[in-house]
Structure 1
Amino acid sequence: MTRKARILLVDDDASLLKLLGLRLRSEGFAVTTATSGQEALEQLERERPDLVLSDLKMDGMDGLALFERIQRAQVGLPVVIMTAHGSITDAVTATRSGVFGFLTKPIDKEALRKTINEALAVSLPADEDDWQHSILTRSPAMAAVLEQARRIAPLDISVLITGPSGTGKKLMAKAIHDASPRQDYPFIALNCGAMPEPLLESELFGHVKGAFSGAIADHPGVLLAAQGGTLFLDEVGELSPALQARLLSTLERQEVRPLGGSRGIGTDVRILSASNRDLVAAMEAGQFREDLFYRLNVVNLALPALKERPEDIPLLARHFLERIRQRQPTRVTGFSPEALAMLASANWPGNVRQLLNLVEQAVALAPAPVIGPQLVEGILADSGDHFPTFNEARAEFERVYLNKVLRMTEGNVTQAAALAGRNRTDFYKLLNRHGIEAGAYKDKAD
């Protein structure tokens, strides 16, 4: 640790404040003290600590009220609550509200040390560049995965990131890239399940128009565009057998031959991949190549589902709310403790992505500045609102697909229709349905 960890200690008992402050300083921490919640907030305006230890029962502003104020000002700052009036009810209320830990007075020395170390493990950045800044967590399960990611980031090896849909696999891949020697070069992500095979092949390997001997790709493809950097292949289990074989060959030879090209072009790219499918089961079923699996799965990082890290749910909910508040005007300022408790106990089949959708809906529908449990319960009960309908998902796919095909053919509708396997009349109907003008792509031709 390059500096002492900073702890803000808050208690209206001056003698206990002095005693506990001496103990913490003797263990190497930089300690600042405050005798009230208001004084603590004034201290926070001057300097951000790495951890706040606060008494629960204080005159004026109690520990939970202080925690709420801290989370509005400094989202993610760990807070540990101490109280001489400990009870199961207090502990459940505190932890469900997002408080990191709960300690009962008199404070046990070992329990205090353990709680502080666990809090600082997710509070202090792993290095000066704060490579994991986009992954908010105070969960020991996620912290263990991040530590593994930090260790393998500098190694130029392939990593397979697994876990349920919506758990943040792309964020983890970007964090690995940011902690690697390739951080100053491109990070490119490609969803292998979001487009048909011909278009995916072109996006991966590139293509040459009017190819001649020695031609360089007009559309380089992501394997070349990511030169020197990192390519993240999301939903890699959706690759067809033919594309699996071609990808394996490209990785083994460290060169890519664009479609229509006559020679290979050397590649220097690190491959990170992800799948929410069980690729071992896919191998056993003959749906995924064993040699490609072991090429991609040099190290496996398994991300926990959101329901396995409930301590992160209030933290993430507040973060998403703050992000919404920064980009659009809203009178919503926070969640009630009951609403946060309801969020923390929900099942979350859609994981972090579902939580984000719920917060966006709650902000749009909230009748008051504080989001209450009734609104959260209503959104949770209507689980269909968390995900697009089949027709909505298909429409979004069509829009993305049509734009990519037109970009590839530079607005030539005849070529685009042929590539899509549709006649011109049907293709024009699709363009009109989505309000897409083919002519807009002709202006992009060289």
Structure 2
Amino acid sequence: MQDTDAAASAATPATRILVIEDDEAFRASVKRALELAGYQVSLFEDAESAMEQMAAVAPAAVLTDLRLPKADGLFVLQRTREKDADLPVVLMTGHGDIPTAIQAIRSGAYDFLEKPFSRERLLAVMQRAADQYRLVQENRQLKTRLAESSGIDQIVRGDAAPVRELRDLILRLAPTPVDVLIHGETGTGKELVARCLHDFGRRSGNFVALNCAAIPESLFESELFGHEAGAFTGAGKQRIGKIEHAKDGTLFLDEIEAMPLALQAKVLRVIQEREIERLGNNKPIPVNFRVVAATKVSLEDLAKKGEFRPDLFYRLNVASLKIPALRDRLGDILGLFQIFLQQASLRFQMPVPSLTPDQHQALLASRWPGNVRELKACAERMILGLPIFVDGEPTASAPRSFDESVAMIERSLLEEALRRHGGSVKAACAELSLTPATMYRKLKALAVDPSAYKDPSTDPAG
């Protein structure tokens, strides 16, 4: 049951402390000490109700007794870290619980206070905890402003609806500790999205990328977990593995479908426990890291065939991001191509040539099996004076009919005109010399929504 006074509801997140203590007299004593120091305090006598109200309380730190009825302080620590990995949790313990408290610190607790503790000790620990979280909040706000001002639209480029949705999801997921599974064809930019999740999030550690398809199976375990000197023949010195190197950061597992089945069970345990053991050493090492995995195939289908562990798939698939193929964002092709031409021009110190009508049509008619990576390579070939298509359409791909190619080009022209005019159908009609009736007929046939290109600051009647 919550025992919070009315004044606490007006507190700001930077000065609010959530306290969980089942001893009524001790709870009141802690509340009084914190309030005299200027903190706003929300009191709970059990862990369950505290966790239910945490989002509404929005504390700067959590102070909890280790021993509580039903769920204990370790439950509070686990649930708090699931909600916000940076929110400090301080444990109050009896003398006999100190080993448990020390283990809790290894699992992410901020500190512990051994009962009975002085008012000075209480305030010193809680002030440090609240100050640390204040810095975390300021860093989050800074990164949010950065994302909004310069932002992510200069990194994950494009105006197609699936791309805008992708950017929104990246910014929504980046500040959270949730693991993410990225789906996308070859060349769509899976590592770029993973880096955005890291850069726009709050992780202070390294971004560590590992291509699961590029590592021999015999070296996989050492590469991930590291090893001690003498752990096996040739292990002359201790080596830190990729997971340990990603502490407080992000571990990016690209092409995770190529990870050997035998290793998947060990990786699953590491993801669940957030601790590793180096080869040649049985001592567990706590590691706080975020997993971002990427695949170009359906892991669910592989799991049904027995080619991927279902439990690892479900553990990774808490949050998923789908990167659209280039052929599904035709309106972005020409804009991206111009950007890549400018980049290639600077790189090779050569002028940017003008696109001919035939090249324009060829860009829009291609199926782009290599997606954005292939488009970029195409731009570089054009800057170098080479044909922009070397092999043409892949032999495995069915050629598009004339009607399909015309529809693709028409859709691109309509989308570009709507984008330039902020979604105004009237202005787009004038530019393309189309009557409104013809315009609306084509918009319906090509499934183009003008509202997706509207500028919110303009009159919606335009």
Shift of 1:336: 3.4
Correspondence list, 1:343-382, <5 A: 343-366=363-386, 375-376=387-388, 380=392
How far the C-alpha of 1:125 sits from its partner, in A, is: 7.6
Q: 1:263 to 1:138 in 2, by over 3 A?
A: same
**Per-residue deviation, 1:316:** 1.5
Partner in structure 1 of residue 177 of structure 2 = 156
Contact 1:167 1:351 in 2 (8 A): yes
Could you list the per-position Cα deviations for residues 94-128 of structure 1 after superposition, in whole angstroms to 9, with x for gaps in the alignment?
xxxxxxxxxxxxxxxxxxxxxxxxxxxxxx98524
In structure 2, which of residues 283, 294, 302 is the aligned counterpart of residue 274 of structure 1?
294
- Equivalent residues in 2 for 1:130-149, closer than 5 Å: 130-149=151-170
Deviation of residue 220 (structure 1)?
A: 0.7
Residue 233 (structure 1) aligned to one of 241, 246, 253: 253
1:294 to 314, 324, 349: 314
Cα distance change of structure 1 residues 335 and 245 upon mapping to structure 2, 3 Å threshold: same
**C-alpha separation between the residues in 1 aligned to 2:308 and 2:389?**
41
SS in 1 for 2:366: coil
Structure 2 counterpart of 1:250, one-letter code: V
Task: Name segments (4+ residues, structure 1) moved above 4 Å.
Answer: 381-384
Alignment partner, residue 16 of structure 2 = none
Name the residue aligned to 1:209. 229
Q: Deviations for 1:246-293, whole angstroms, at most 9, x for unmatched residues?
A: 101111221111122231211010000010111011110111111111
| Residues 188 and 226, structure 1, Cα contact 8 Å, conserved in 2 | yes
State how far apart, in whole Å, the 2-side matches of 1:129 and 1:200 are. Answer: 38
Distance 2:346 2:360 in 1: 21
User: 1:168: which partner in 2?
Assistant: 189
1:211 and 1:262 in contact (8 A); partners too = no
What letter corresponds to residue 365 of structure 2 in structure 1? S
CA deviation profile, 1:219-254 (whole Å, cap 9, x unmatched): 211101111111110011111111101101111221
Q: Secondary structure in 2 aligned to 1:273?
A: strand
Residues in 1 aligned to 2:247 and 2:236: alpha-carbon distance in whole angstroms: 15
Consecutive unaligned residues of structure 1, counting only runs of 5 or more, are 1-123, 367-374, 385-446
Task: Determine the structure 1 residue equivalent to 2:417.
Answer: none
Q: How does 1:84-103 map to 2 (within 5 A)?
A: none
What one-letter code is carried by the residue in structure 2 that aligns with 1:153? A
**1:26 — aligned with what?**
none
Match of residue 35 from structure 1: none
In structure 2, distance between residues paired with 1:217 and 1:265: 18
2:359 corresponds to: 339
Per-residue deviation at 1:308? 0.1
Indicate if the aligned counterparts of 1:167 and 1:303 stay in contact, CA closer than 8 A. Answer: yes
The answer for the alignment partner of 1:262 in structure 2 is 282
From the superposition, tell whether residues 345 and 381 of structure 1 become closer, same or farther in structure 2 (CA, over 3 Å): closer
Instruction: Identify the structure with bigger relative contact order (alpha carbons < 8 Å, sequence gap 6+).
Output: 1
On the 8 A contact 2:255/2:296 being kept in 1, the answer is yes
State how far apart, in whole Å, the 1-side matches of 2:150 and 2:248 are. 20
Q: CA deviation at 1:320?
A: 1.5
Instruction: Please say which of residues 350-359 and 281-290 is displaced more in the overlay.
Output: 350-359
Letter in 2 for 1:319: I
2:138 matched residue in structure 1? none
Moved more, 125-134 or 322-331: 125-134
> C-alpha displacement at 1:335, in angstroms?
2.8
- Overall identity of the aligned pairs, in %: 36
In the alignment, is the contact (CA less than 8 A) between 1:136 and 1:315 conserved in 2? no
Give 1:62's aligned residue: none
1:185 to 198, 205, 209: 205
CA drift at 1:381: 5.2
Inter-partner Cα distance in structure 1 for 2:371 and 2:193: 15
Residues 324-358 of structure 1: CA deviation (Å, up to 9, x unaligned): 22222223444335423321221111111111222
Higher-Rg structure is 2
Q: Which amino acid aligns with 2:181?
A: L
- Closer, same or farther: CA 226–132 of 1 in aligned 2, 3 Å: farther
In structure 2, which of residues 321, 337, 340 is the aligned counterpart of residue 317 of structure 1? 337
- Give the C-alpha shift of residue 380 in structure 1: 3.1
Contact 2:184 2:325 in 1 (8 A): yes
Between Structure 1 and Structure 2, how many residues are aligned?
250
Match of 1:328 in 2: 348
Give the aligned partner of residue 305 of structure 2: 285
Distance 1:381 1:129 in 2: 37
Residue 6 of structure 1 is matched in structure 2 by none
Aligned 8 A contact 1:193 1:235 in 2: yes
Q: 1:243 to 1:354 in 2, by over 3 A?
A: same
Return closer, same or farther for 1:246/1:314 CA change in 2, 3 Å cut-off: same
Which runs of 5 or more residues in structure 2 are unaligned? Answer: 1-144, 397-462
Q: Distance in 1 between matches of 2:150 and 2:349?
A: 31
With normalisation by structure 1, the TM-score equals 0.52
CA distance in 1 between counterparts of 2:242 and 2:211 reads: 11
Q: 1:178 to 1:334 in 2, by over 3 A?
A: farther
